[in-house]
Amino acid sequence: MVQEYTKAQVRDHNKKESVWVLVHNDIYDVTAFLNEHPGGEEVLLEQAGKDASEAFEDVGHSSDAREMMLKYKVGTLVASERKPEQPKKSTVDWKETSESSESSLKSWIIPVALGLAATIIYRLYFMS
C-alpha cells in the first residue's frame, strides 16, 4: 500500500537535511536529488515542505523529468487533503467554444426575428 501523509507532515521536511515536496497530491523526497536537479537545488529548497505543483508545472518539465520523479516518490497526500483532479484543458476549451457559438447564434436570431416582425406589422397596417 502507498504510504499516506498529511500536509503538516510534509511541512516538517523543509530543511536541506530532508526535503519533501508535494506535486499533484504525490509526495517526493528530493533530498538525494538536490545536487542532481538540472534546475538547481535552490528552487527545490524554496519549495521544501510545500505544495510545489504550480512551480513544477510553470517550468514545463519534460516527460523525462516526470519519469525521473517516480524514483523519489515516498507517498501520497491523505485523501481528505487532496485537491480534486483538475478538469482537462481541452474539455474546458470545447465547452467555452460551444457556449460562445451558441450565444452568437442567439444574438443573430433576435434581431432577425425583430426585423421580420416589424416587416409583417408594417405590411398589415400600411399596405392593405
Query: Would you tell me which residues interact with ligand HEM (CB under 6 A)?
Result: 21, 28, 30, 33, 37-39, 43-44, 47, 52, 55-56, 59, 61-62, 64-65, 68-69, 72
Q: Measured from the CB atom, is 60 or 87 closer to ligand HEM?
A: 60
Closest approach of ligand HEM to the CB of residue 51, in Å: 10
Closest approach of ligand HEM to the CB of residue 42, in Å: 9
6 HSE (CA, 13 A, CB side): 3
CB of 78 closer than 8 Å to CB of 4 = yes
Closest approach of ligand HEM to the CB of residue 73, in Å: 8
Using CB atoms within 10 Å of the CB of residue 31, give its burial: 0 to 12 exposed, 13 to 18 middle, 19+ buried.
middle
50 HSE (CA, 13 A, CB side): 11
